[in-house]
C-alpha cells in the first residue's frame, strides 16, 4: 500500500486535475457540436451527411465563445459557492472549539503533528455514520462529520477518520473530485439542454425546416441524428467514468494515510467496521456520497460502485499495516435508560439491604432486629 503524502502521488493528482480541466472544455465542445448537428439535421433533413457535418462544425465555431464563457462561469460559481451548496444539501454547519472541543482538539492535534493547515470543521445533523472533505484550496478545505459518527466512535477511531480525510486533502484527492463533479454537472446541463431542444424542434418543426441546394443529394439527416445522440451519450459516460476512476484507489491511499498519521491500524479498521452500511446520508445526492468515507450505494454487480468494499479495505490494512479485523460490528443502543425505562423508586430502595424485609445475602437470610434483640450480635448490655 502506498505511503501517506507520497510526492509522486501528489504530483500525479495535480497533473490529473489539469487534464480534467482540459477534458471539461473538450467534452463541452463535443456536446455543442452534437447539438449543432442535431439542429442542422432537423433544419435540412434532405441534405447529405457531409454537408450536415460541415454545417455543424461551422455552428460550433460560432458558438464556441459562448460555450467557453458559459463553462468558465459555471466553474467560477462552483469554485465560489460549492461549499454552500453542499452544506445546503447535507444540513452541515461550521463549528468552533467551544462548540465541539473533543472533535476540534483531535483534528487540531493531527494537523499540528504534521504541519498541515487546519481545515474548517463542520457537523451534519444526521444519524448516519460518515464524514467527507471538501474544498479547492487551503482557504476552502473543510471536513464534515455527522452526528451519528460522533456518537458511535471513540477518540482513537474518530482520530483515524479525521486522518483519512486529511490524507484526501493532502494528496489532492478533494480538489480532483470537486472538479470531476463540476465536469459531470456541465455535461448533464448541456446534454439535457440539447435533448430538450431536439425534442422541441421535432415536435414543432418536424424534419421539414429550411431547405438548401443540397436537398437533391438527399439522405444524411437520420445518420447525423444518430451520430449526435451517440456523441452526447459517450460524453456523459466519460464524465461518469472519470468520477468512478477517481474514487476507488484514493480510498486505499487515504486509509494508509490515516494509519501513518495515527500509528493505529486497528482504530481505522474498527471505524470502518462501524461505518459499514450505516453511512447513507438521507438528503445527500450521489456527488456528495462519492466524497464520503464510505458510500453504501452500490451499482449493478458492483461495476459502478464508487468505493471499494469495506472488506477489501480492511483486508489491505490487515495485510500491509498489521491490523486486526474484528469482523462486522453490531452497534449497541445507548446505555442510558429513558425515563420510561427507569424503574420507579419506593421507600425500601433507600434502606440498607439488611433493613429490607426478607433481605438475604449469599450466606443465607440476614438476621432481623427485634425489640428484644438489640442488634445482629445479641442483646445490648445495660
Residues classed as catalytic: 165
Give the start-end residues of each E strand in the chain.
Answer: 92-94, 120-124, 131-134, 142-146, 360-361, 364-365
Pairwise CA distance, residues 258 & 107, whole Å: 12
Pairwise CA distance, residues 108 & 105, whole Å: 5
Pairwise CA distance, residues 365 & 140, whole Å: 71
Pairwise CA distance, residues 43 & 59, whole Å: 13
For residue 301, the tally of other CB atoms under 10 A from its CB is 7
Q: Which whole-number Å values give the CA distances from 131 to 79, 111, 121, 160, 273, in the listed order?
A: 21, 17, 11, 11, 14
Which residues on adjacent β-strands are paired with residue 143?
Answer: 121, 133
Q: Which three cell numbers stand for residue 226?
A: 444518430
Pairwise CA distance, residues 95 & 150, whole Å: 13
Pairwise CA distance, residues 250 & 256, whole Å: 10
- Please provide residue 95's backbone torsions phi and psi, each rounded to the nearest 5 degrees: -125, 160
Structure letter (DSSP) for residue 144: E
Q: Which residue has the cell 468552533?
A: 96
User: Using an 8 Å Cβ cutoff, are 83 and 135 in contact?
Assistant: yes
Amino acid at each position: 500500500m502506498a505511503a501517506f503524502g507520497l510526492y509522486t502521488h501528489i504530483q500525479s493528482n495535480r497533473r490529473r486535475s489539469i487534464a480534467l480541466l482540459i477534458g471539461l472544455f473538450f467534452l463541452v465542445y463535443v456536446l455543442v457540436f452534437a447539438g449543432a448537428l442535431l439542429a442542422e439535421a432537423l433544419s435540412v433533413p434532405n441534405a447529405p451527411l457531409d454537408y450536415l457535418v460541415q454545417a455543424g462544425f461551422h455552428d460550433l465555431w460560432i458558438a464556441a465563445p459562448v460555450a467557453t464563457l458559459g463553462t468558465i462561469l459555471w466553474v467560477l460559481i462552483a469554485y465560489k459557492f460549492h461549499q454552500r451548496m453542499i452544506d445546503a444539501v447535507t444540513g452541515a454547519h461550521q463549528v468552533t472549539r467551544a462548540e465541539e472541543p473533543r472533535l476540534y482538539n483531535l483534528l487540531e492535534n493531527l494537523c499540528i503533528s504534521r504541519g498541515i493547515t487546519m481545515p474548517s470543521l463542520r457537523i451534519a445533523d444526521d444519524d448516519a455514520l460518515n464524514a467527507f472533505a471538501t474544498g479547492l484550496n487551503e482557504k476552502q478545505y473543510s471536513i464534515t462529520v455527522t452526528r451519528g459518527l460522533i456518537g458511535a466512535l471513540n477518540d482513537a477511531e474518530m482520530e483515524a477518520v479525521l486522518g483519512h480525510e486529511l490524507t484526501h486533502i493532502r494528496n489532492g484527492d478533494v480538489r480532483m473530485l470537486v472538479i470531476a463533479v463540476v465536469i459531470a454537472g456541465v455535461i448533464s446541463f448541456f446534454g439535457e439542454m440539447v435533448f430538450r431542444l431536439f425534442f422541441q424542434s421535432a415536435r414543432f418543426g418536424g424534419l421539414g425546416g429550411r431547405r438548401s441546394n443540397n436537398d437533391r443529394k438527399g439522405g444524411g439527416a437520420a445518420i447525423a441524428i444518430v451520430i449526435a445522440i451517440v456523441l452526447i451519450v459517450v460524453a456523459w459516460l466519460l464524465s461518469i467514468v472519470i468520477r468512478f476512476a477517481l474514487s476507488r484507489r484514493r480510498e486505499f491511499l487515504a486509509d494508509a494515510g490515516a494509519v501513518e498519521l495515527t500509528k493505529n491500524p486497528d482504530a481505522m479498521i474498527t471505524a470502518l467496521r462501524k461505518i459499514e452500511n450505516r453511512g447513507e446520508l438521507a438528503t445527500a445526492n450521489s456527488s456528495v456520497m462519492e466524497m464520503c468515507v464510505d458510500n453504501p450505494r452500490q451499482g449493478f454487480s458492483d461495476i459502478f460502485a464508487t468505493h471499494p468494499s469495506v472488506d477489501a479495505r480492511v483486508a489491505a490494512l490487515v495485510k500491509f499495516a498489521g491490523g486486526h479485523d474484528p469482523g462486522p460490528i453490531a452497534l449497541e443502543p445507548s446505555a442510558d435508560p429513558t425515563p420510561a425505562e427507569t424503574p420507579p423508586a419506593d421507600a425500601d430502595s433507600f434502606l440498607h439491604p439488611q433493613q429490607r424485609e426478607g433481605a438475604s445475602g449469599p450466606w443465607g437470610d440476614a438476621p432481623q432486629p427485634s425489640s428484644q434483640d438489640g442488634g445482629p450480635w445479641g442483646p445490648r448490655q445495660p
